Amino acid sequence: MALQKAQALTAHVKNFYNKFEKYLADKAFENNNISTDKMDEDQVANYDLAWVAAELFAIEEMIAYPGKVDKGAGSIEEHLSLFFIADALADMLSRFRPAAQKMGISSQQFENEVHASEIYAFTTEYSSEAFAKKIADNLAANRDFGAYGLNDDQAMMADTFRKFAEGQVKPIAEKVHRQDLTIPDEIIDGLAEMGCFGLSIADTYGGFQSEANPDHTSMAVVTEELSRGSVGVAGSLITRPEIVAKAIAAGGTEEQKQKWLPLLASGEKKCAVAVTEPDYGSDVAGMKVAAVKVDGGWKINGVKTWCTFAGMADVMLVLARTNPDLKLKHKGLSILLAEKPPTRDHEFDYKQPQGGRCHGKAISTIGYRGMHSYEVVFEDYFVPDENLIGGEAGLGKGFYLQMAGFAGGRLQTAARATGVMQAAIEKALQYAIDRKIFGKPIIAYGINQYKIAKMAAITQAVRQMTYKSARLMDKHEGAVEASLVKFYSCRISEWVTREALQIHGGMGYAEEYEVSRLFVDARVFSIFEGAEEVLALRVIARSLLARALGLKAA
């Protein structure tokens, strides 16, 4: 009954959301399309629209969650769902009040339209300290964070990689982080032997992804479990092969697929992605790194930055301007595969026999250590014609091929955030049980019970959103959902890890405790694979407004 009530209340809020979406779409409509300039006049409102769209997605999954895992009334699954929904509904009302004023809707009309009084009653019951205590007591007694909803094969995969994370990743995670080391070979080799790098590559090219029956959930499960051990040591290792392989699969020639996909799937060739430039982050259309046609290939000149894993990589996917006409914007970009010798060093300088050069230096960061992100300089760096993705047919299609890979990368980022949040809640729960203040364990205090309940509810909601997006990707759908869960999970993981650190008090700020690493690692999620604001405004909100007006593409 409670979940049915939640569904009814959500429907009222969604009706208002649809009205607000249409209002913003009409304001941004110009010349038969969505105008970016018009959208920028309402950036805060469009950001809120994207956030609420993500919350609605999460609520829908949490309404379905208990039934999907066959759990009934009174279960931890139902309690987590109700707590999350109540908290999210309250947040949506607070965001929609200024939206109503913007639309000329009176406060009373707004309250009536969304059935605010019923929502207040619902949130008072299911977002209360008393209800949070039920969840926290259950978690403390049983360490049961709720069923994941996996099939037998996926559950076995989760167990296998959880054991690897516990036995191989966690024991070295703190050392790698504190000493800023490169990922040890035994981790990379171990994951290669387990087939980790082939999870997103079709079985026809040596991978483990069935073309007939894709399973992106398994990839998400593996990413989550490895990230639970360490996102810098293991959780991000399969993201770059995912992005590069998807780009090759989407636009490469058959010869390129036959050559590169098996090498990536086996881990024989490690890869990096060189897209971002110092002056152009998410503004791909303005990129200036150029590839000029020469006899037998191309010469690349320019600087790329935030090239994660570039040192260890044998090959870098480089998004370069193959047409010098800047008016073409993203339509003048192509993808080239630039090969180089791998190195474990924080700096490299490779000179080609042909005279070209590429040199790079790792960027010092507060977290996400192990992978290392480099600034890479190309000077007349030669790439043969056979490494232009798609050959001549691929000229000008680099942006689109890159985006084919980034949808999967966003899904993986959500899974990485889930793994880090799961590790944080586990650490916070154990510390709250063990630590005593004023004569009793700190989990006995209402504020900590509330935090732990909310952390667990959020983590499960993100997990279910991620799995839903993965199932949609199996059907070659879900690009918007992958963006929504990336956007939501990355921002919310900062709150979860922050509260986990806060529960540890002063010790949470000490590197002696793992939770400090989880906190700084989570901070990067809102930046890479699409910066939070750009993702919200240029990708999500733009797509939502186009949908509201029935436009095919924004």
Q: Could you tell me how far CA 438 lies from the centroid of its own chain? A: 40
Which residues contact residue 421 at a Cβ distance below 8 angstroms, ignoring those fewer than 6 apart?
455, 458, 459, 462, 489, 492, 493, 496, 497, 522
Which residues contact residue 282 at a Cβ distance below 8 angstroms, ignoring those fewer than 6 apart?
530, 531, 534, 535, 538
The token pair at 221 is 């499960």
- C-alpha dihedral sign at 385, 375, 522, 175: positive
3-state DSSP assignment of residue 407: helix
Residue pointed to by tokens 């998400």: 220
3-state DSSP assignment of residue 252: coil
The token pair at 52 is 């609420």
Residues in the chain: 554
> Which CA distances in Å does 181 have to 223, 227, 364, 525?
21, 17, 12, 20
Distance, CA of 526 to CA of 43 (rounded, Å)? 18
Dmax (CA) for the chain in angstroms is: 78
Which residues contact residue 51 at a Cβ distance below 8 angstroms, ignoring those fewer than 6 apart?
95, 487, 488, 536
225 is catalytic: no
CA dihedral 184, 190, 191, 193 (to 10 degrees): 140
Q: Which residue among 78, 426, 514, 529 is the active-site one?
A: 529
Helix (H) or strand (E) holding 177: helix 170-179
Of 296, 309, 254, residue with least CA distance to 383: 296
- Amino acid occupying residue 523: R
DSSP assignment, residue 344? -
Neighbouring CB atoms inside 10 A of 364's CB total 10
3-state DSSP assignment of residue 4: helix
Residue pointed to by tokens 């208990």: 66
Any idea which residues carry the catalytic annotation? 529
